[in-house]
Amino acid sequence: MKTRAVRLYGKKDLRLEEFELPQINENEILAKVICDSLCMSSYKAASQGADHKRIPNDCDVNPPIIGHEFAGELIEIGSKWKNKFKAGDKFSIQPAINYPGSRVGVLGAPGYSYSYIGGDATYVIIPNEVMEADCLLPFTGKGYYPASLAEPLSCVIGASHANYHITPGSYIHKMEIVDGGKMALLAGVGPMGLAAINYILHRNDRKPSLLIVTDIDQTRLDRAASLYTVAFAASRGIDLQYVNTSKFTNAIESLREISGGDGFNDIFVFAPVAPVIEQADALLAFDGCLNFFAGPSDPNFKATLNFYNVHYAYTHIVGTSGGNTNDMKEAIALMSSGLDPAGLVTHIGGINAVIDATLHLPEIPGGKKLIYNHIEMELTPITEFAQKGKTNSVYARLAEICDKYKGLWSTEAEAYLLANSEKL
């Protein structure tokens, strides 16, 4: 079986190549990858090369396939796993397998560390440790892209579960955000911020009474407000407010006033920017928890923290890097029951677009860049489908379908693209 894949040979050295996959062993599974959502973590891995903790030191001679937010269909099942999986099953992958027996080390992960599995490939071999760690996850919902986006949603889910609060004098940590509390998402309208808003609004087990989402880009705030409306939040019992902090003379004072003067119980920071972190620190309520969600590229990144409040106001900080398998299962269950992550997606492309898009990801505006690996298509904003449709009927039809869904991607658009991609 031949595959086409984007492989990493060193710092900013990505190559789209075709090569032969070996015959699978009895404990492996052959899979067809339908789509992969490009992630800033792949940009960081491509930028750092072998200096990245998950990239093998010998990547120059044994290059790994990149991409870790992917979904597809199982093709051939090794005998060891035939009682659990079958050909034709749709799947998602939890890449943070953290499996002690992994052939590539405990930090090894699909999309970073393996020669034969990663999201930016047409066909892959799923190694035994993925199944042993229960990280090959069935998906029974419609389409494929929701399963691809289950991984970023799981990161938000895991971060929410990691927040904690205390009962003074008891030393008992209460995990999770405060039910009925006040919550803020700072720099919160990028792709992961949108995923967080979507998740918070759809949770049934707990939710804040007040949710403030900030940014300094009014266009992005307006788009977020059109996707996840104040009215829908109100129907869920949440006072949702989108706030452009660039319009405030003193953002900290103004946000604290919105909170009622006491600050916020839970604050998530979605940008690795020191002033935003310091703003969050200043806005914490008594026993407030600051979740530093955004992973910086600089290993020496720092911001100041008010240790007076740490001591006397019991403020604290947490951070997570990805979700675990239970978080992925929760994400997939939410997708299967109707949560649509389409609001995260702003660009569609084929496997030929992966290298340039990955290496320039921070410079490309918008949200998630969704790649369909079996097609050739330049990375295209959904907003430009109509213009391209003037000379290409496939883009014209895609524009019509997306218009039906308020300008968003959909399983209908996905199915049409996959069936008509040769006409692009």
The structural domains of the chain, with segments of one domain joined by +, span 1-148+340-424, 159-318
Looking at residue 106, what is its pLDDT? 63
Alpha-carbon distance of 41 to 50, in angstroms, equals 14
Q: Indicate the pairing of strand 239-244 with strand 210-215.
A: parallel
Say if residue 103's pLDDT is above 70: no
Say if residue 101's pLDDT is above 80: no
How is residue 334 annotated by DSSP?
H
Say if residue 331's pLDDT is above 80: yes
Say if residue 99's pLDDT is above 80: no
Say if residue 168's pLDDT is above 90: no
Q: Domain spanning 159-318 has what CATH number?
A: 3.40.50.720
**Tens digits of residue pLDDT in 251-296:** 999 999 999 999 999 999 999 999 999 999 999 999 999 999 988 8
Residue 11's pLDDT band, with cuts at 50, 70 and 90, is very high
Which CA distances in Å does 353 have to 113, 283, 320? 22, 41, 30
Say if residue 324's pLDDT is above 90: no
Alpha-carbon distance of 256 to 278, in angstroms, equals 14
Say if residue 30's pLDDT is above 80: yes
**Tens digits of residue pLDDT in 191-239:** 899 999 999 999 989 999 999 999 999 999 999 999 999 999 999 999 9
Domains 1-148+340-424 and 159-318 share a fold: no
Residue 332 burial class via C-beta count within 10 angstroms: exposed 0-12, middle 13-18, buried 19 and up: buried
Number of H helices, E strands in the chain: 15, 18
What DSSP element (H or E) covers 369? strand 368-372
Say if residue 242's pLDDT is above 80: yes
Alpha-carbon distance of 95 to 66, in angstroms, equals 11
Residue 315's pLDDT band, with cuts at 50, 70 and 90, is very high
The pair phi, psi for residue 153, each rounded to 5°, is: -65, -35
Looking at residue 335, what is its pLDDT? 86
Q: Domain spanning 1-148+340-424 has what CATH number?
A: 3.90.180.10
Please name every residue paired with 36 in a beta bridge, in sequence order, or none if there are none. 70, 371
Looking at residue 113, what is its pLDDT? 94
**Tens digits of residue pLDDT in 49-59:** 999 989 999 99
> String of b and e for 78-111 (b: at least 16 CB within 10 Å)?
beebeeebeeebbbbbbbbbbbeebebeeebbbb
Say whether 212 sits in a helix, a strand or coil: strand
CB atoms within 10 A of CB 276: 21
Tokens of 200: 């918070």
> 247 CB contacts (<8 Å, ≥6 apart)?
none
pLDDT over 90 for what percent of the chain? 87
Looking at residue 366, what is its pLDDT? 87
pLDDT over 70 for what percent of the chain? 99
Looking at residue 323, what is its pLDDT? 83
Residue 82's pLDDT band, with cuts at 50, 70 and 90, is very high
Least Cα distance to 84 among 27, 32, 22 occurs for 27
> 23 CB contacts (<8 Å, ≥6 apart)?
none
